[in-house]
RNA sequence: GGGGGCAUAGCUCAGCUGGUUAGAGCGUCCGCCUCACACGCGGGAGGUCACUGGUUCGAGCCCAGCUGUCCCCACCA
């Protein structure tokens, strides 16, 4: 107690120390405590590919706020931290780094490559953890997890085997999205379509019978090497007679059939489509319907393979140029026109996707999607904001089988072994030594790894010990809230929901709180290529973690994107400083008094007012948090602290603490301390560092704010009448200030204020406050005054009429004009009020409290009008 | 092609189940270094809540339509 606080809040000095204090106190650690209710959040594990950006900072802030709030409410609040191995992204980064050394994956081999990957993880995964700590994240670090650690890997294998045995995982030859750059298959969700300007080549395919040719158009002429048919719409009169005939595939000189299929759109292009089942998903389907051969003409690097004849060995784009030239030379090219179309690209490296037929592993989605859909439809899992469930359904209702194998090394290797002796496929949780079928010893494991999302789909339960029935799992699962951005619903949220239901029988969380994306000040997405990303660590260094957190939450509502503006962080920093200085003020005034943080026996009007306000704020903030309305909660706290507590209560308390009345002074000190201390509790989830620091510095009960009990609304602190009384005084003070300001009267020029009111005792009791805050030399309140200097300025509020003799300063004409304006405004308001009350349907249909409110307002307005009229009469 | 968001003060955004005179931050204007804070204090200006209808006693909020804008899904051979 009695600590010297710096004049301005210095977050850098405080944050590290406070975080250490929390860590030493082990406050972040949650245990399965049957006397408490669990509240669990698992972190969306950041990718180890890079450091955190402000989007993460926002995501973590929301989670930390919820966790800290629930912890203070007495829950056993667990926030499980961890990171994601991000197979394709990390592998790409490592390959890139190696290429600078002139190395490739193949050169160093799988084992050495994985060593590098683990090193990468140690370095960058560790950095992310440090960044989380700088933000103040109260994660249970004893439970730090990684998607490729032992436990998660075990869960992955368990799930793979289980799904395989149920027939929900299968291996098969399908057309998949192939990224030639990454050299792997990717899932539908990993393909981004981008609009591109391209050429539309019109080509003639001669009819075999020599009766002419059929014209078709394509954007990918090189794939003609793999054409196995030409398709037209069955109802297309132009081509009906040709169905069943054959054409000669130019350059390849092969005879292929003309088939009829409804997939073809008659009014697009020429209404004729070349069919390349191996390299186009739609063609693949057409091929299946017509039993067409599948000829793969591209290898894994998108180079034409041996099926491409003389074009073999050429990269696809080169082959395209050559083929166009050859078609032209051969007289097959009719024309080339420009076309805008969407091209699928790899969401990771942005290369153009080459659809390709290959053998991959898939998860059969139909049976998994059904119960997952039901869970959301029946609100077993609730989306915040609710409308976001539409995105979920849009995906789940049309979901296709999930391609889970990746031709990558960094990730969970598929637990499938092939017996070289008998060809048996062995799927097992533990590495098999022998072939169970033939006893053969020569087994080799599948080279492929799993899609990164296969392991993150299990994250809410694999991190709690599943598949073991651990204490943690039993106590903390299902988790409560999942906090993430809406752009990850398909990749992750949906997959966690169906996985949770399938494997644990329960949805993995009850609420999904979806927030928006943090964009730059111009509303653009933050990205490396634009260089507009913000490093939260820079912002923390500059303004403090609390300021960053507060800025990210303020004015933000669930599901909406937000622009990042540094001014907001600055404003939040200023707010932190404001609180800091309020605390300094309290210190200065209690240092010599051995105060306890408790309320005094006798409460004065101002005390009741601020306590009553605090009480309401407590209820409101709690309700807002319950509904995940963090932005609203934070706004209310801000306004209460700045306006009510600092601008009014502290100013009023100053008067009392300097007065002769020892009881009043003492009471003010107690209430200042109590209100500050308890307000810090409400503030703590949002601004954990400064709140803890100040709370510790003030007299307090208990060892730490982080585990202090969350305040609750109580009737014993509800003083509606006193609140109204002081509000009337405040209204007068503000009105006097306004008048003085309008007339440019400096604070030094004071005058006596006469208050004419039916509640004289209220104003008399607050005489000192009015004198000081409204800059008056004296204050007198009465029901009426016999003689008032007729040149006094008149100030009318809802509850009184005040005279301020300002002699020479008063311009009678101006005063009359101003009062007339006020009268008009009041009269207009009264008119609407009376119109309402005269309206029978309003009076009969509106709820009683609304009618009462209108009626009261009408009374106030009438009184105000009466007072203004009196004043106007006096001027005449 | 299907779906969704947004449109409120000069700027960026809140506005919770419809209810008195629509709010904040920043900016701006006026006055203040008032013994916590100039990262501050006091006061002011500034809004036909995109537009058109409708429901209702009452609409920024609900419904329909419309304009602009952004996004998601499907996919254009």
Q: Is A207 helix (H, G, I), strand (E, B) or coil?
A: strand
Residues of A (206-235) placing their beta carbon closer than 7 angstroms to any atom of strand B are: 216-220
**In this predicted model, what pLDDT tens digit does every residue of A605-625 receive, in sequence order?**
999 999 999 999 999 999 999
> CA A580, CA A285: separation in Å to the nearest integer?
68
Residues of A (301-340) placing their beta carbon closer than 7 angstroms to any atom of strand B are: 339
Of all nucleotides, the one whose C1′ comes closest to residue A825's CA is B21
At which residue do the structure tokens 């007198």 appear?
A: A780
pLDDT at A335 over 90: yes
> CA A764, CA A753: separation in Å to the nearest integer?
11
Q: What percent of chain A has pLDDT over 90?
A: 72
Q: Is A342 helix (H, G, I), strand (E, B) or coil?
A: strand
> CA A405, CA A472: separation in Å to the nearest integer?
31
pLDDT at A595 over 90: no
pLDDT value at residue A790: 66
A393-397, Cβ contacts within 8 angstroms, sequence gap of 24 or more = A395/A489, A395/A490, A395/A494, A396/A369, A396/A372, A396/A494, A397/A369, A397/A373
| Distance in Å, residue A873 CA to nucleotide B14 C1' | 44
| Distance in Å, residue A315 CA to nucleotide B68 C1' | 45
pLDDT value at residue A725: 92
What six digits make up the tokens of A535? 């490093």
Do the strands A229-232 and A254-260 form a parallel or antiparallel pair, or are they unpaired?
parallel
Of all nucleotides, the one whose C1′ comes closest to residue A280's CA is B77
CA atoms within 13 A on the CB side of A665: 10
In angstroms, how far is CA A777 from the centroid of its own chain? 54
Q: Is the CB of A825 under 7 A from strand B?
A: no
| Distance in Å, residue A858 CA to nucleotide B8 C1' | 28
Residues of A (519-538) placing their beta carbon closer than 7 angstroms to any atom of strand B are: 523
pLDDT value at residue A506: 96
Q: Dihedral through CA A258, CA A260, CA A265, CA A271, nearest 10? A: 30
Of all nucleotides, the one whose C1′ comes closest to residue A638's CA is B24
pLDDT value at residue A298: 92
pLDDT at A3 over 60: no
Q: Is A294 helix (H, G, I), strand (E, B) or coil?
A: coil
**In this predicted model, what pLDDT tens digit does every residue of A787-807 receive, in sequence order?**
777 677 888 888 888 888 876
The Cβ of residue A131 has, within 10 Å, a number of other Cβ atoms equal to 21
What six digits make up the tokens of A577? 């400083």
Of all nucleotides, the one whose C1′ comes closest to residue A193's CA is B75
> CA A604, CA A608: separation in Å to the nearest integer?
6
Q: Is the CB of A871 under 7 A from strand B?
A: no
pLDDT value at residue A2: 39
The Cβ of residue A808 has, within 10 Å, a number of other Cβ atoms equal to 6
DSSP assignment of A680-717 equals HHHHTTTSHHHHHHHHHHS--SSS-GGGSPPP---GGG
Question: What global pTM score does this model have?
Answer: 0.94
Residues of A (535-594) placing their beta carbon closer than 7 angstroms to any atom of strand B are: 555-557, 559-563, 565, 567-568, 570-571, 573-574, 576-578, 581-582, 584-585, 588
A805 or A402, higher pLDDT: A402
Q: Is the CB of A264 under 7 A from strand B?
A: yes
What six digits make up the tokens of A550? 């507060």
> CA A552, CA A707: separation in Å to the nearest integer?
24
- Res. A841 pLDDT band, cuts 50 70 90: confident
Q: What is the ipTM of this complex?
A: 0.95
Residues of A (357-386) placing their beta carbon closer than 7 angstroms to any atom of strand B are: none
pLDDT at A188 over 60: yes
Output the 3-class SS for A28-58.
Answer: CCCCCCCCCCEEEEECCCCECCCCCCHHHHH
**In this predicted model, what pLDDT tens digit does every residue of A512-537 receive, in sequence order?**
999 999 998 888 888 777 778 889 99
Mean pLDDT of all residues belonging to chain A: 92
**Secondary structure letter of residue A650 according to DSSP:** I
**In this predicted model, what pLDDT tens digit does every residue of A492-502 receive, in sequence order?**
999 999 999 99
Q: Is the CB of A744 under 7 A from strand B?
A: yes
Q: Is the CB of A7 under 7 A from strand B?
A: yes
Mean of pLDDT values over A345-350: 88
Of all nucleotides, the one whose C1′ comes closest to residue A567's CA is B26
Q: Is the CB of A616 under 7 A from strand B?
A: no
pLDDT at A56 over 90: yes
A543 or A818, higher pLDDT: A543
Residue nearest to nucleotide B24 (CA to C1'): A635
Q: Is the CB of A268 under 7 A from strand B?
A: yes
Contacts of A873 (CB under 8 A, 6+ apart): none
Residue nearest to nucleotide B21 (CA to C1'): A829
- Res. A808 pLDDT band, cuts 50 70 90: low
pLDDT value at residue A1: 36
Chain B positions within 7 A of any protein Cβ atom are: 2-6, 12-16, 19-21, 23-26, 30-32, 34, 36-44, 56-58, 72-77
> CA A554, CA A81: separation in Å to the nearest integer?
25
Of all nucleotides, the one whose C1′ comes closest to residue A555's CA is B14
pLDDT value at residue A569: 95
Output the 3-class SS for A481-495.
Answer: EEEEEHHHHHHHHHH
> CA A562, CA A517: separation in Å to the nearest integer?
6
Contacts of A460 (CB under 8 A, 6+ apart): A42, A477, A478, A479, A482, A496, A500, A508, A509
Residue nearest to nucleotide B38 (CA to C1'): A574
Q: What percent of chain A has pLDDT over 70?
A: 98
């Amino acid at each position: 107690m009695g600590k010297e606080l710096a004049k301005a809040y210095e977050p850098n000095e405080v944050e590290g120390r406070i975080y250490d204090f929390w860590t030493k106190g082990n406050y972040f650690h949650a245990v399965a405590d049957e006397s408490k209710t669990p509240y669990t959040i698992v972190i969306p594990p950041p990718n180890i590919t890079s450091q955190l950006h402000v989007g993460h900072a926002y995501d973590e802030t929301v989670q930390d706020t919820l966790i800290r709030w629930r912890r203070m409410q007495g829950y056993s609040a667990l926030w499980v931290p961890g990171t994601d191995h991000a197979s394709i992204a990390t592998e790409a980064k490592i390959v890139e780094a190696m290429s600078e050394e002139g190395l490739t994956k193949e050169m160093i081999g799988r084992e050495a490559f994985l060593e590098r990957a683990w090193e990468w993880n140690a370095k960058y995964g560790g950095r992310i953890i440090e960044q989380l700590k700088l933000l103040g994240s109260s994660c249970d670090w004893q439970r730090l997890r990684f998607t490729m650690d032992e436990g998660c890997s075990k869960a992955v294998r368990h799930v793979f085997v289980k799904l395989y045995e149920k027939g929900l995982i299968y291996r098969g030859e399908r057309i998949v999205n192939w990224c030639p750059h990454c050299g792997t298959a990717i899932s539908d969700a990993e393909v981004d379509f981008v609009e591109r300007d391209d050429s539309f080549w019109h080509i003639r395919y001669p009819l075999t019978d020599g009766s002419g040719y059929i014209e078709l158009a394509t954007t990918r002429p090189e794939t003609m090497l793999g054409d196995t048919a030409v398709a037209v719409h069955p109802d297309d009169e132009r081509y009906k007679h040709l169905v069943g005939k054959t054409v000669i595939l130019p350059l390849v000189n092969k005879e292929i059939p003309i088939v009829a299929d409804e997939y073809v759109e008659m009014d697009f292009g020429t209404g004729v489509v070349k069919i390349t089942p191996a390299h186009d998903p739609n063609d693949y389907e057409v091929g299946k319907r017509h039993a067409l051969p599948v000829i793969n003409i591209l290898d894994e690097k998108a180079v034409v393979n041996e099926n491409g004849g003389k074009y073999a060995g050429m990269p696809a784009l080169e082959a395209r140029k050559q083929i166009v030239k050859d078609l032209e030379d051969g007289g097959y090219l009719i024309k080339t026109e420009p076309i805008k179309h969407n091209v699928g690209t790899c969401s990771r490296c942005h290369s153009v996707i080459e659809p390709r037929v290959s053998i991959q592993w898939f998860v059969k989605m139909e049976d998994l999607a059904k119960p997952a859909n039901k869970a959301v439809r029946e609100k077993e899992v609730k989306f915040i904001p609710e409308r976001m469930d539409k995105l979920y359904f849009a995906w789940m209702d049309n979901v296709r089988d999930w391609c889970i194998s990746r031709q990558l090394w960094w990730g969970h290797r598929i637990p499938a072994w092939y017996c070289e002796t008998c060809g048996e496929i062995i799927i097992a949780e533990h590495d098999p030594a022998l072939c169970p079928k033939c006893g053969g010893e020569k087994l080799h494991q599948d080279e492929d790894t799993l899609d990164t999302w296969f392991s993150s789909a299990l994250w809410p339960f694999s991190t709690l010990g599943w598949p073991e029935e651990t204490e943690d799992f039993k106590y903390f699962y299902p988790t409560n809230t999942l906090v993430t951005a809406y752009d990850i619903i398909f990749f992750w949220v949906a997959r966690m929901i169906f996985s949770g239901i399938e494997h644990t029988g329960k949805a993995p969380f009850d609420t999904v709180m979806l927030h928006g994306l943090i964009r730059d000040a111009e509303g653009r997405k933050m990205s490396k290529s634009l260089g507009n990303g913000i490093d939260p660590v820079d912002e923390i260094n500059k303004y403090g973690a609390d300021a960053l957190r507060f800025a990210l939450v303020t004015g933000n509502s669930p599901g909406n994107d937000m622009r990042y503006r540094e001014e907001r962080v600055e404003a939040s920093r200023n707010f932190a400083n404001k609180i800091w200085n309020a605390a300094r003020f309290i210190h200065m005034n209690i240092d010599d008094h051995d105060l306890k943080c408790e309320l005094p026996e006798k409460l004065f009007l101002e005390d009741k007012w601020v306590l009553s306000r605090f009480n309401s704020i407590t209820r409101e903030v709690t309700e807002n948090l319950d509904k995940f309305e963090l932005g609203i909660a934070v706004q209310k706290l801000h306004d209460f602290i700045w306006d009510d507590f600092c601008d009014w209560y502290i100013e009023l308390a100053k008067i009392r603490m300097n007065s002769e009345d020892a009881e009043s002074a003492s009471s003010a000190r107690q209430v200042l301390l109590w209100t500050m201390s308890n307000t810090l509790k409400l503030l703590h989830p949002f601004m954990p560092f400064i709140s803890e620091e100040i709370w510790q510095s003030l007299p307090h009960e208990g060892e730490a704010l982080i585990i202090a009990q969350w305040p609750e609304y109580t009737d014993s602190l509800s003083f509606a009448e006193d609140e109204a009384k002081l509000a009337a005084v405040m209204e007068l003070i503000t009105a006097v200030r306004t008048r003085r300001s309008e007339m440019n009267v400096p604070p030094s020029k004071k005058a006596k204020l006469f208050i004419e009111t039916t509640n004289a005792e209220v104003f008399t009791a607050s005489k000192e406050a009015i004198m000081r805050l409204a800059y008056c030399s004296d204050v007198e309140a009465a029901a009426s005054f016999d003689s008032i200097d007729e040149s006094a300025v008149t100030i009318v509020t809802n509850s009184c009429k005040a005279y301020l003799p300002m002699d020479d300063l008063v311009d009678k004409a101006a005063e009359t004009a101003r009062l007339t304006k006020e009268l008009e405004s009041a009269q207009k308001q009264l008119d609407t009020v009376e119109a309402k009350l005269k309206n029978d349907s309003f009076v009969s249909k509106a709820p009683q409290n609304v009618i009462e409110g209108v009626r009261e307002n009408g009374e106030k307005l009438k009184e105000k009008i009466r007072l203004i009229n009196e004043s106007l009469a006096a001027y005449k």
